[in-house]
Structure 1
Amino acid sequence: MTTSTLKPQSAMPLVRWVLRLSVWMPAWWLAYVHLTDFADAVISALGLTRKTALGEAVHFFFYDTPKVLLLLTGVVFVMGVVQTFFAPERTRALLAGRRAGGGNVLAALLGIVTPFCSCSAVPLFIGILSAGVPLGVTFSFLISAPMVNEVALVMLLGMFGWKVAALYLALGLAVAIVAGLVIGRLSMERYLEEWVQAVANGQGGGGYEGKRQDWVQRLEAGGHHVREIVGKVWPYVLAGIALGAGIHGYVPEDFMASIMGRDAWWSVPVAVLLGVPMYTNAAGIIPIVQALLGKGAALGTVLAFMMSVIALSAPEMIILRKALKPQLIATFAGVVAIGILLVGYIFNLVL
């Protein structure tokens, strides 16, 4: 939609948004490129040096905190705008009537551009089922939405480069697609709770009837998205970075390499088991990932830990229990866990 098609009353708000972005974007970039200078200035003001464990931990905290929050704010704003093109009704409409195979691929791709955490994806999971989408296709979306999310991708790109981000994207999508195909082939619809089966059988395809939005509404949705998401997750970000700073400054490299290193074959399954009871998001877990890697942990092992935290969290399983019987939950967790284990071992072999 172009500005010429907007209603007259929308022109002035659009101008205000353009002016805001023309100020915010350069300010965001200037802050991002001077993160090291900021952290150096903080430890200098505190009379610390990076040659000590405390100084290194403090530098890590004051470098990563603004970096993560800047990345998070920028990504969440953009994805808030993108989400206006992929409302839940449209997501259901796009997947309705899709068969296994192509439907699993589309569902996994939609999971990337619909920014839901593992718990908030569950209601949409039920809504997609009610639109007549096959169970396996729906699971591909449920797995992809939290695990291959935009925050994780952008932060991996910023911290580790495009090769790591691309491999994470490819393997994460592979887990979502293959796991959905496996669950679909097992024909486990009978393990949906009865009320979910009734909803799924009572409705078919259904179309997308959402209201079309102009660019002012889309930009306002981006701003609302920042207030809602960043406002909720920043404590997790600070906690994750504080833990990462402690690991970075005080944990000996030899110790971390011995329990999460490339040579310890059992480290990947242990990392997955450790990640399941935890619940946080990519913004909170990636600073821990960065600190673990800096201390000698293997990339595949650490990413397997991260994937289990954001795709197999205990709170997600509790919420899923409202819609799925234990047999289906166990199958879902087992299939995804196997996929994550393979991702961990592949990363350790390739990189």
Structure 2
Amino acid sequence: MNTTRQAAPASGWLIFLLLAIAGLFYVKWFPYYHRAFTAASTHSIGTSILMGSAASPPAPSFDAALGYAWAYGKAIWQAMVLGLLLGSAVQALLPAHWVAKALGKTGFGSVAAGGMLAIPGMMCTCCAAPVVVGLRAREASPGGAIAFWLGNSVLNPATLVFMGFVLGWQWAGLRLALGVLMVFGLGYLVNRLVTPGEAHAADARVAELITRQQDGNAFVRWLSIFTRMAVRLVPEYVVLILLLGAARAWLFPHIGPAIGNDILWIVAFAVAGMLFVIPTAGEVPIIQAMLALGMGVGPAGALLMTLPPISVPSLVMLARSFQPRLLAIVAAAVVAFGIVAGLLAVASGL
């Protein structure tokens, strides 16, 4: 009996590791490797998913909603399935104390670990959300989980390479500099807001998870958790994608030289970027198209930092995993980073 109990965690960790490596290689690493050569040779990675080659998104309608949801779904569905598999596997295959040991403390160490683990993930904000749900279910610290969530999109090395070849390396440098501050700074801030009572309760839940007897087959448990997560997260996610697809024209006006570097435009685009949802690296062709239409670098800088990290759908997906005040702080801070990026883009003459 003791031998069986010792073998299960080892086999679970091995299966989880193989799934992560094989899944990320197929969905992210291999396709992005080839896409980087395309970006280098053509200085483009495709058209803007937001509005194509037009100067403004389509008017709000059912067709606009369905068209965006279809284009977005084709771009992310494989990564979403992988995110759900990994998020459920964290809970079914990995012992609770392993997650707590790596990400459970409320100091900077868990934030650093979460941010560094995010870099090979390269997922968009919504595809990373199921993994964050799994980490929080196994009592990863709020700051460590936030760093993992934001780091997937903001510190995505493939996106930085695409950005350098398409927009210019000065844009990639701005993103990297502010991205490091966002991921690790916000993670540390969130952990600092954890009260002693909340930390004690989290420790108690970890102890309960460790001592709780895990009955039944691990794969059956994995399938059960996967199904519950998919049923809870996917329907609300699809509805929100449809609504945002229809509302594109309200969030993003007609793009042209009239949208300059005024602070009001920078703030407006920072807020719109925080609310909207895009696939991985989708901000690159969006910003490229908007700059080509004559939009100022200030609003473009705001979108650089607010389009990727969070969105309304991803915030809703994580509503049960974090206190509302923490998600509100993160959303406000992302907007602030967008404003700073816009102002820096103007000041540096990007």
Normalised TM-score (structure 1): 0.54
1:278 aligns with one of 276, 281, 305:
276
Cα distance change on mapping 1:200 and 1:311 into 2, 3 Å: farther
Structure 2 residue 208 is matched with structure 1 residue 202: yes
Query: Do 2:125 and 2:152's aligned partners in 1 also have CA atoms closer than 8 Å?
Result: yes
Taking the aligned partners of 1:136 and 1:348, their CA distance within structure 2 comes to 31
Distance 1:190 1:93 in 2: 17
- Contact 2:283/2:303 (8 A) holds in 1: no
The offset of 1:178, in angstroms, is: 1.0
Q: Is the 8 A contact 1:132 1:203 kept in 2?
A: no
Contact 2:103 2:145 in 1 (8 A): no
Code of the aligned partner of 1:287: P
Q: 1:140 to 1:296 in 2, by over 3 A?
A: same
Say if 2:257 is the partner of 1:254.
yes
Match of 2:300 among 294, 299, 302: 302
Change (3 A) 1:28 1:349: closer
**Distance between the aligned counterparts of 1:145 and 1:31, measured in 2?**
22
1:273/1:191 CA distance change after superposition, 3 Å:
farther
- Counterpart in 2 of 1:105? 112
- Segments of structure 2 that go 5 or more residues without pairing to the other structure are 1-30, 47-52, 55-74, 211-240
1:130–1:203 contact (8 Å) kept in structure 2: no
Aligned CA distance change for structure 1 residues 35 and 116 (closer, same or farther; 3 Å): closer
2-structure distance, mates of 1:274, 1:158: 25
| Number of corresponding residues | 244
Alignment check: 8 A CA contact 2:120 2:156 kept: yes
| Inter-partner Cα distance in structure 2 for 1:97 and 1:191 | 12
Equivalences for 1:134-149 in 2 at 5 Å?
Answer: 134-149=141-156
Alpha-carbon distance in 2 for matches of 1:30, 1:307: 24
Q: Secondary structure at the match of 2:263?
A: coil
Q: 2:129 aligns with which of 122, 131, 153?
A: 122
The Cα RMSD (Å) is 4.7
C-alpha deviation, 1:300, in angstroms: 4.3
Seen in structure 2, the aligned counterparts of structure 1 residues 276 and 201 have a Cα distance that, compared at 3 Å, is: farther
Structure 1 339/197 Cα, relative in aligned 2: closer, same or farther at 3 Å?
farther
Secondary structure of the residue aligned to 1:349 is helix
> Which of these two proteins has the greater Rg computed from alpha carbons?
1
Identify the structure with bigger relative contact order (alpha carbons < 8 Å, sequence gap 6+).
Answer: 2
Deviation at 1:145, TM superposition (A): 1.4
Deviation at 1:164, TM superposition (A): 2.1
One-letter code of the match for 1:174?
L
Contact 2:141-2:191 at 8 Å conserved across structures: yes
Distance 2:274 2:343 in 1: 18
Give the Å deviation of 1:279: 1.6
Summarize deviations over 1:35-54 as a string: whole Å, max 9, x none: 59xx9xxxxxxxxxxxxxxx
| Counterpart Cα distance in 1 of 2:35 and 2:335 | 38
Pick from 317, 324, 327: which aligns with 1:326? 324
Q: 1:190 to 1:326 in 2, by over 3 A?
A: farther
Q: Measure how far apart 1:137 and its partner are.
A: 2.1
Report the alpha carbon displacement of residue 199 of structure 1 after superposing the two structures with TM: 5.5
Change in CA separation of 1:116 and 1:190 when aligned onto 2, cut-off 3 Å: farther
Q: Partners in 2 of 1:151 and 1:122 — Cα distance?
A: 19
C-alpha deviations, 1:300-337, integer Å up to 9, x for none? 42132243232221101111113234323212212332
Give the whole-Å Cα distance in 1 for the aligned partners of 2:209 and 2:276.
36
Q: SS of the counterpart of 1:322? A: coil
Q: In structure 2, what is the equivalent of residue 64 of structure 1?
A: none
- For 1:106, the aligned partner's letter is A
> CA contact under 8 A between 1:146 and 1:311: conserved in structure 2?
yes
- How far 1:111 sits from its partner (Å)? 1.7
| Mean CA deviation greater in 122-131 or 150-159 | 122-131
8 Å Cα contact 1:156-1:165 kept in structure 2: yes
